[in-house]
Homo-oligomer: A and B are copies of this chain.
Amino acid sequence: MKIIAIDAFYLRMPDITDAADGTQDTLLIRVRTDAGLEGWGECDASPLVSIAVYCCPMSHGNIINIRESLLGETLAHPDDVLRLHEKVMRNGLDIQHIQHAYSGADIALWDIIAQKVGKPVYRLLAEMFGTSDTAHAKIPYASVLFGDTPEDTYRIAVRLREQGYRAAKFGWGPMGKFGEANDIALVRAAREGMGDAAQVMLDAGVAWGHDDATAYARAEAFSQFNPTWLEEPLAPDAIAAYGALAQRKPPVPIAAGEGSSTYRMAEDLVVHGGVQFVQIDVGRIGGITTAFRVRQLAEQRGVQYVNHTFKSHLSLAASLHVFATNADFKLLEYPAAGSALSQQLTTEPLRVASDGRVRVKDAPGLGVRVNLETLRRYVVPVRIQVGEETVFEQASLV
């Protein structure tokens, strides 16, 4: 089986705001083979910047675009997916954005090869890496933004509780912007709205930069509300400050990692930042291949692996295949309030079952399908010309 096409589709909502809502646009990658199989993946990254990595003219031997690296390649065995990952990273050594952009293609390649062998991706991974091949149901936590005020936050929390969520994460918005009293009021509102039995996670949205003292003070202040974790109190590259925070032994576990664009960034955060939950976005770190390596690292180091997902259920499915087979990793970030685009992007979303859990699909491949009608509704044609050459043009949707 040979790869015959790699196409990128830029989708977006009619109006984009500067809210920290990653579902307002997306980039889908479609890979096709000469055997008639096709796979899909999604990048959680700037769509236009990622498209450029699929089509940029060669600068030298370390700046070769993804399409060039993949077109015509053999895809006969799961090992080929690993080989191609390595090839693309090597050819794109001097393209900083290579991992963000490649994530979608890596996911699509796993989708294809798993369809070919007639197994779900998680089972293929289990065979290749010698892990258990039993998938475990996860506890979905709704991932929402804080309301603009504590009152709004309370209303959001009550609504989630009424929808049946037993766990929810509140993040960004006003957190960290209006002083300690407001921060505490926001957390109190989230806890009161969700009730004492629920799991509540807090996402500070990199509010305190490199200031581990303030991060520690907030962890102390929030601990009365018994949050499952305090996420990203510091900047993604503030590893030394994360390490200093860990040394202070905060009374709330610290979570971070969505900003990891490379395996090393995640490793650095776990080993030197001392986080207890490592949150990996399969659409940023280089796809399922790299995310699975971080799962293995988490297992070795005794920290919790959690997905970061603020896109469609295509990303959610890809995320879940990575760690479905580890029973100890119980939580699943579950996009609960995204745009119409993200909610309608797949025809068969991963629903919350009557027991309140989410299960990976046991169908071949990723087990989700892209809704082509949604794609047609939100796709924005992109055209890039360099000199006389059109290096990128919207592929046909047929």
Binding site for B on A (CB under 8 A): 10, 12, 16-22, 24-25, 44-49, 51-53, 55-64, 93-97, 99-100, 206, 236-237, 239-240, 259, 261-265, 267-268, 272, 284, 380-387, 391
Given known A-B contacts A46-B95, A49-B49, A52-B52, A20 and B60 have beta carbons under 8 A apart: yes
A268–B242 CA distance with the chains assembled, in angstroms: 14
What are the residues of chain B within 8 A of A58 when measuring CB–CB? 16, 18
Given known A-B contacts A58-B16, A61-B18, A93-B236, A49 and B46 have beta carbons under 8 A apart: no
What are the residues of chain B within 8 A of A22 when measuring CB–CB? 59-60, 94
Given known A-B contacts A96-B284, A206-B93, A380-B386, A57 and B48 have beta carbons under 8 A apart: yes
Picked from B268, B381, B387, the residue with its CB within 8 Å of the CB of A268 is B268
Closest B-chain residue to A390, C-beta based? B383
What are the residues of chain B within 8 A of A267 when measuring CB–CB? 239-240
A56–B382 CA distance with the chains assembled, in angstroms: 11
Picked from B59, B96, B263, the residue with its CB within 8 Å of the CB of A24 is B59
Pick the most buried of A10, A18, A259, A272: most chain B CB atoms within 10 A of its CB: A18
22 A-B pairs with C-beta separation under 8 A: A10-B386, A12-B57, A16-B59, A18-B60, A20-B62, A22-B59, A22-B60, A22-B94, A45-B94, A46-B53, A46-B95, A47-B56, A48-B52, A48-B391, A49-B49, A49-B52, A49-B95, A237-B264, A264-B268, A381-B387, A382-B385, A382-B386
Closest B-chain residue to A237, C-beta based? B264
Given known A-B contacts A52-B51, A268-B264, A60 and B16 have beta carbons under 8 A apart: yes
> Chain copies in the assembly?
2
Picked from B44, B49, B57, B96, the residue with its CB within 8 Å of the CB of A16 is B57
Which 10 residue pairs across A and B have the least CB separation, nearest first?
A97-B97, A237-B264, A18-B61, A48-B56, A52-B52, A96-B100, A49-B52, A380-B387, A383-B385, A96-B97
A285–B336 CA distance with the chains assembled, in angstroms: 37
What are the residues of chain B within 8 A of A18 when measuring CB–CB? 58, 60-61, 64
- Minimum C-beta distance from A329 to chain B (A): 23
Are the CB atoms of A21 and B60 closer together than 8 Å?
yes
Are the CB atoms of B57 and A19 closer together than 8 Å?
no
What are the residues of chain B within 8 A of A97 when measuring CB–CB? 49, 95-97, 100
A64–B272 CA distance with the chains assembled, in angstroms: 30
Closest B-chain residue to A238, C-beta based? B264
- For the complex with contacts A10-B386, A48-B52, A93-B259, 19 further pairs of A-B residues with Cβ separation under 8 Å are A16-B59, A19-B61, A22-B59, A24-B60, A46-B56, A46-B63, A46-B94, A47-B59, A49-B56, A93-B236, A96-B261, A97-B100, A237-B262, A264-B268, A268-B272, A272-B272, A381-B387, A382-B385, A382-B386
What are the residues of chain B within 8 A of A62 when measuring CB–CB? 20
Are the CB atoms of B20 and A384 closer together than 8 Å?
no
Are the CB atoms of B45 and A96 closer together than 8 Å?
yes
Closest B-chain residue to A310, C-beta based? B60
